[in-house]
Amino acid sequence: MEFAIIGNNYQAEKAVHTQRLLQFLYQRGATVKINRSFYNFILPYIGKLEFKPILFDEQDFTADMVVSMGGDGTFLKAARLVGNKNIPIIGINTGRLGFLADVSYNHIEETFTDILLGNYVLEKRSLLKLKSNIPNIEYPYALNEIAILKRDHASMITIHTHIDHSYLATYQSDGLIVATPTGSTAYSLSVGGPIIEPTSKTLVINPIAPHSLNVRPFIIPDAVTIHLKIESRSHNFLISVDGRSYKCNEETEVCISRAEHSTIIVKRQNHHFYDTLREKLMWGADKR
């Protein structure tokens, strides 16, 4: 198998986990590729290797599987670099909580032994696509969420919201999150949104600090297009696409829909989303 490894450039003390993975795969005859900037970053901390992996830049790679070394932010970066290549991604968690990067670095050897034996499953996760007249958006897709946010310390923004051609509501709030099921455990969850099973064919619309008691998170089918018109006293706002922010003005057109392609995630056999809920969020735990 061919593996392409992508990591973050700010966890030098955790480079040893990447070294373990590189040695493990090399000793089993796998072809190992690694993002050049990540390799240059960890090289001073891992010492001399028995071999030199193949280096690649940004999206210039092919592989049977991508390995994300880091937390969920690194996984989102890997998903962006994979784009529509249909290469499955596995996340090794060297960060904190880790819903996307859900394989502990303590389980590297056993996990990749199973992978080399073909003992894993693949899950397709839906992406959001942003259609707008914002210039210079390199990658208009989001695995977690697209959020409309007030840009500064101004008062709330007004967000006129239509679903397809039907008017839904006008939100007066600090912002509005449109999240995928995968993103339901990310930003949306932190502002009171529901947790959605990640393979569901749904989206959630979730206002941020709404100035009303009669608006709540709203789950809709993912086959629709969401049209947003934003007004602000400062005449500007932000659009965040999986944390990548863009400055916008009131003339900005915003349409959000499900993308044509998906992100494919590698899951360990016999390990389900419900296990992750219990392990990461202590779901249903009774500490009395």
Q: List helix spans (H) across 104-229.
A: 108-116, 187-190
The 3-class secondary structure across 202-233, one letter per residue, is EEEEEEECCCCCCCCCEEEECCCEEEEEEECC
Of all helices (H) and strands (E), which one includes residue 139? none
Known catalytic residue: 72?
Answer: yes
The total of other beta-carbon atoms located within 10 Å of residue 231's CB is 13
Identify the residue whose tokens are 């779901």. 283
Q: Which amino acid is at 136?
A: N
CB 156 within 8 A of CB 174: yes
Phi-psi map region of 270: left, alpha, beta (phi>0 left; psi -120 to 50 alpha): left
* Annotated active-site residue in 72, 102, 114, 275: 72
Q: Which residues touch 228 (CB under 8 Å, ≥6 apart)?
A: 148, 159, 160, 161, 162, 176, 254, 255, 256
Known catalytic residues are: 72
